[in-house]
Amino acid sequence: MLSTVLVALAVALVMQGYLRHLYGVTDDAAVPPGRADRVPSALARGGPVIDARGGSLRTARPASGVVALTFDDGPDPTWTPKVLDILRRNHVHATFFLVGTQALDHPELVREILADGHEIGLHTLTHVNLGSAPAWQRHLELREAQQVLVGLTGQTTALLRPPYSSENAAIDNDMLDAMLTAASDGYVSVLATRDAEDWRRPGVDAVVRGMTPTGRAGEVVLLHDAGGDRSQTVAALDRALPALRAKGYRFETLSRSVGMATAVRPASSVDRLTGMTLVSVLRLSDLLITLVGVLLVASGVVTGVRAVLVIAAAARHRRGRLRDQLRGQRRGDPPVVEPVSVIVPAYNETAGIEAAVRSIVASTHPVEVIVVDDGSTDGTADLVESLDLPGVTVIRQENGGKPAALNTGLRHASHDLIVMVDGDTVFEPDAVHTLVQRFADPRVGAVSGNAKVANRDGILGRWQHIEYVIGFNLDRRLFDVAECMPTVPGAIGGFRRSALERVGGVSDDTLAEDTDLTMALARDGWRVVYEDDARAWTEAPASLGALWRQRYRWCYGTLQAMWKHRGALVQSGAAGKLGRRGLTYLLVLQVLLPLLAPTVDVFAIYGLVFLDPVRVVLVWLAFLAIQAAMAVYAFRLDRESLRPMWTLPLQQVVYRQLMYLVVIQSVFTALAGTYLRWHRMDRYGSLRVPAPGPEALPDLMR
């Protein structure tokens, strides 16, 4: 489905690029004449109407005293109606050579031209120079221009005026080839005997002189009703028509002036259907590109607003934490010292469980550790028991999933404060103590810690490290300030036991049990806060496949949790804050924008090819600059080295696309109602037990 949408969008963009940006109406002098050694003298000195159909070359000129007025480059919403009004007042019929894209934009003017009895010819689809165009493009320009005319009016025409043409004497070899190609498609080429050169805007008097015959010979006069300011053309036409009629000149359409059969005829039913289909497709592509443009602007605004919002919220969060700490010191508030039950659900965790359990036991805060072995087949429980660590209890159960393991641990917990930690995570010595200090506020039901990537040596690890610091932790500061925290991560989260019991423990309704639980607590009226100084180090996926499986589960589970708790949108209090702030933020930033991301990338390629590539690159650099500013600020808040920042540009090109595709697949899976099984993450055994003090941190990053 995604591929189909992107292909359709790419086709629409290619059509738009060709129709709107590769070519366009320019002054006739933009193309200088070339060599003419192959142009027959009979053609160079012949009449302006050239018929090479059937292999023989014939030319014709209007009868004596007859003037055929022709107008190029239209229709134009400003100047064509004025020209038509003057022709109507003077009872003059003319021939309009229309550009297909102009006709598509102003179909009502095309129909008005025909309704007034004027004649229509083609001026190609996009005003391309047929002389320099390859044969395939010549055929394309004529065929599609004809189909646009048929789709708009139900009429066909046999007349063609090649763009950048003038009089017979200006025909060069390339133009000759173009006219012969047109003849093979059934067209009669029309040049001019008098070029008023109104496109130069030489003044009204000069335009009048340019369109006035010097004798009684028939004339084909070249004028323009589009392509720029045509006020001089309109004024000259208004003055010249009565004067020429007073001198005895007659005005006819081009075909009548040379005695041709009617050039404009009704199209067949098949041609009408084909033409209407093309017009519908082109209009749909116009609408699609307009919609995409609006969405891109909106996404840019949302991205900018988010950057400002999260940075402002992070600064406010930091000031608030410092202020609260100073107030507590002045008041002499006692620290939270009551013991904590730490629950570690484990399934086949032998690679990292020892480091995880040892790090918790080494906490500066009194803890009991409950390891719930959820049916492991790799000896996880045996390994923990063999460590013989004080305060560590191992509980074995049949495999029932992570929520069941957490609920088992909760039932066996001895204390009122609970910390939940994944089996692939190690705590810093003061992490538990720092985390539970927030429970001094009786309104707090849960506390999110600061999960950090331990295995960040490779480029994939660095990208995830950047994502954790910017995407996760900056957002959590925003959610804390806005009181709408949607997720306490499974890697490090503290809970009040009474709050967990009020919501029925950990639910297995979704694959993101941590998000589901956090939202349930918020809807129950509890505050959920973020403590950035409570740090835990977790193993991140070390391969693209493992990363995809992990994020697919996260994203799908988050969508499930959002749908489950959608009722929060209409609730009041803490639940309403979660619904109207948290869920809306997740929907816009983590669902809708990623869905739009492939469109942005396709549109960027479109801009590089068809638009101003410098502007496109500048927009991308501006976006990168916003990301870099957020990254620098987030890294400073987390007291992290800026060395991994060199991978940020590449992350925006590669890693960002992967995450967007994960979201898109998750959304399509959810819409299809497909059941997604649990994906267990690979373990690598890269974690180390931190020793007391800051010197332990480098060991965690080995």
Distance from C-alpha of 513 to C-alpha of 504, rounded to nearest angstrom: 13
The rounded Cα 287 to chain-centroid distance in angstroms is 15
* Closest-CA residue to 418 (of 369, 480, 363): 369
Strands 250-251 and 264-266: unpaired
- Both tokens of 430, joined, read 């003061």
Q: Where are the beta strands (DSSP E) in 243-308?
A: 250-251, 264-266
Can you read off the two tokens belonging to residue 132?
């320099």
Contact (CB, 8 A) for 505 and 414: no
Using CA atoms, how far residue 147 sits from 72, 188, 222, 464, 608, in Å, is 19, 17, 25, 53, 29
Q: How many Å apart are CA 220 and CA 9, to the nearest integer?
A: 44
Pairing of strands 155-157, 119-122: unpaired
Is 72 marked active-site?
yes
The DSSP secondary structure of 630-672, one letter per residue, reads HHHHHHHHTT--SGGGGGHHHIIIIIHHHHHHHHHHHHHHHHH
Catalytic residue among 72, 73, 76, 373: 72
DSSP for residue 262 = P
For the CA atoms of 263, 269, 275, 279, the dihedral, rounded to the nearest 10 degrees, stands at 120
- By the 10 Å C-beta count (0-12 exposed, 13-18 middle, 19+ buried), 233 is classed as buried
Bridge partner residues of 98 (DSSP): 74, 122
- 435: phi then psi, degrees, rounded to nearest 5: -65, -45
Give the long-range contacts of residues 324-331, CB within 8 A, separation 24 or more. Answer: 328/440
Q: Which of 224, 317, 465, 565 is catalytic?
A: 224
Look at residues 354, 406, 413, 407 and name the one whose alpha carbon lies nearest to residue 379: 354
Residue type, 42: A
Pick from 345, 362, 336, 348: nearest CA to 426 = 362
Instruction: Name the strand (E) or helix (H) holding 373.
Output: strand 367-374
Residue 204 and residue 231 in contact, taking contact as beta carbons nearer than 8 Å:
no
580's tokens: 């109207």
Cβ 447 vs Cβ 493: under 8 Å: yes
205 classed as catalytic: no
Q: Residue 102 contacts by C-beta under 8 Å, 6 or more apart in sequence?
A: 25, 73, 74, 75, 76, 226
d(CA 161, CA 121): 7
Question: How many whole angstroms from its chain centre is CA 246?
Answer: 62
Cα separation, 284 vs 639, in Å, equals: 51
Residue 266, beta-bridge partner list: 155
Tell me which residue of 126, 29, 120, 128 sits closest to 80, measured CA to CA: 120
Catalytic residue IDs: 72, 224
